[in-house]
Amino acid sequence: MSNATIDQFNERYEQVANEAKATLEKINNAVRGAYTRLEENGNELFQTLVKTGEKRQKAQSKGQKKTASKQPTQIDELRTKVATALGLPTREEVEALNKKMASLTRKVNKLAKEAKDTK
């Protein structure tokens, strides 16, 4: 390798290193900004949640409790979405499979008994 090639390589290396440092600095600043914004908004969200919780507690203590069993809560909806995304069966699907398994088990036992009796 000639000195010119080595010089070109070194120049390119320095250029890439400088670009990487500049990009890293931008990412670092973006993370700091996101953290600051999250911290500010997080406090606001927390305060809002506290106020909402206090209102709900007052309403429940006055006897205005909503029937949570009839209306799916946000947690139930989230649980359903996550289970669907993971491909997990619903409660109804599991119950239907259990009924089918019980039916098949009865039929297999009946066939096994008939086979035993015919011997």
DSSP letters spanning the chain: --HHHHHHHHHHHHHHHHHHHHHHHHHHHHHHHHHHHHHHHHHHHHHHHHHHHHHHHHHHHTT----TTTS--HHHHHHHHHHHHHTPPPHHHHHHHHHHHHHHHHHHHHHHHHHHHH-
Average pLDDT rounded to a whole number, residues 3-17 = 89
Residue 67 pLDDT: 53
C-alpha to C-alpha distance for 24 and 11, rounded to whole angstroms: 20
Residue 59, pLDDT score:
81
pLDDT reported for residue 66: 52
Q: Are the C-beta atoms of residues 65 and 59 closer than 8 Å to each other?
A: yes
37-47 pLDDT tens trace: 877 777 777 78
**Other beta carbons within 10 Å of 63:** 6
Measured CA to CA, the distance from residue 22 to residue 15 in angstroms comes to 11
- Give pLDDT tens digits for 90-114: 788 889 999 999 999 999 999 988 8
- Does pLDDT of 3 surpass 90? no
Question: What is the pTM for the complete model shown?
Answer: 0.35
Task: Please give the pLDDT value at position 88.
Answer: 83
Task: Give residue 101's pLDDT.
Answer: 94
Amino acid 87: pLDDT? 83
Taking only the tens place, the pLDDT of each residue in 21-77 is 999 999 998 988 888 887 777 777 778 888 888 888 888 877 654 554 556 688 888
